[in-house]
Structure 1
């Protein structure tokens, strides 16, 4: 099979770096260019130091239509602006956007010709397969939704209390008062309490599965003192037994190769550096707690974007994503 020609817009950040690492080792992809205004002309490995000896690609100041798919790794609000200014350069290319600009159905239509499908494969796999444009989900949104989708399909999600902790890479590569090492080390902080930007897409997906029932989701995110990974705990009332809930989850994820339901306690090292999600269920009385874990940069961003590319081009869903966890 002829390789898929790929372009990346905004390749200097964390998600861009992860995409480069995945794509240069993807059996069906050819990385054509990596665009970056601030690093044009520099070797990619000069910014992403772990790629020394892995690729000779340099950052480009230009981009062309001579690609099959373009990944937009731009800041929130910048992806839509970039397309408004440059859409004619991508007339024949499919687009996978990693920002939040097109995730909500109200914003999914860029113009009359281009509309974005919400790219959570465990929810919209068939729509992704036939899509021209995909809006990649947010990292917290992915982890929370994967813990709730089977329950929503069964009409069991009404009120949810969720807490989640994320590594520092979730804040992006730019330094801020709460992202540098000396602040993060030995420190934890709640932020955006009950107002996180991913709540909209989570509610949208749950409503997609249980149309006639509204969901009240209360989410408190935390900044953690580690670099990557997300650990979510969602609590809700559930009338099913532990065994019934487990069977519900097993059945829902039977055809989804990256999500696993565990009978044992789960922990971040199982998923960091992989595109996997692990789920653990605990039930006490009427209360159910669903724990879900992902790598925020892979299943929560670049890995899921490649998974979506695989589906869009009819490839093995796991192509280029058979990754080993950094277990020790």
Structure 2
């Protein structure tokens, strides 16, 4: 007889689909129901087979898992742990490991009395954790939207819709963009201070934005390391970091997704899985190629020009050929940032200091409290 640990896991997939493995149980329940009304339940041979069994039935697009490790996680006394499903080379949960590594570098900065190293590393570590939570909120907004949508008697895959839950997705995406662009600038700031040489900086003492650092030190200059070339490529016109900035500028500054005069309409999609079954999913669109419709507020273009740009934004978002799904894009960004962070960590002149507690650090007797 298999002994199951007291640990629950909620696995999230693209589109709002999720699977639940309750504590001390070998069953995995998939939500929502299939289009023909079947509630899928899978049996695991062991605790570690969770993802393998889900993959066997065709659920491969895991974006994150919520872990419940004590009754406190269920009664609200303590929050469960969310982990975005990132991996870099042989490092599982790579964003979580990166958060710890940056925290260790902050410890090294403290020990060396390097206030700025401590400050920037602390900010990066904190922001990785913040972005992880922002992505969780976005994933849950999809889950909530899908859960309410499938309660309707007839799902129309040819229609577009908006309801009370739809704005939650776009609000969550806007917060995600703000948080992850802050992380982008913190990592760029670290590159400026600790990757660029003093000779390269030639008197520049303080620079904190990705755009300025890229234009002055990377755009028109050859780069000598893999990290430098990776950064230059990411910030270039077709690079992923540049695209991220274009989305942030559009959504936060020029085309807030809840603004009057324009609406982005959600639609239903589907995922084919094993046994000929189909699961519904949510698609929340944004336009492709945000750089093409980017509005630079500093240009002070006329209101008519701005109005045209806003119209173009919403028209492209609602056109399936010219749009992409928010959660799919956000997850790609999370994967890219995991690699970006680890490339910097591997080239960093600081490797970090893990704090350890010895008997000398313990004051008084140790008490063991059992629940």
Q: Which structure has more helix as a fraction of its residues?
A: 2
TM over 0.5: no
Q: Which structure has more strand as a fraction of its residues?
A: 1
- When Rg is computed on C-alpha atoms for both structures, the one with the higher figure is 2
Instruction: Report the TM-score when normalising by structure 1.
Output: 0.32
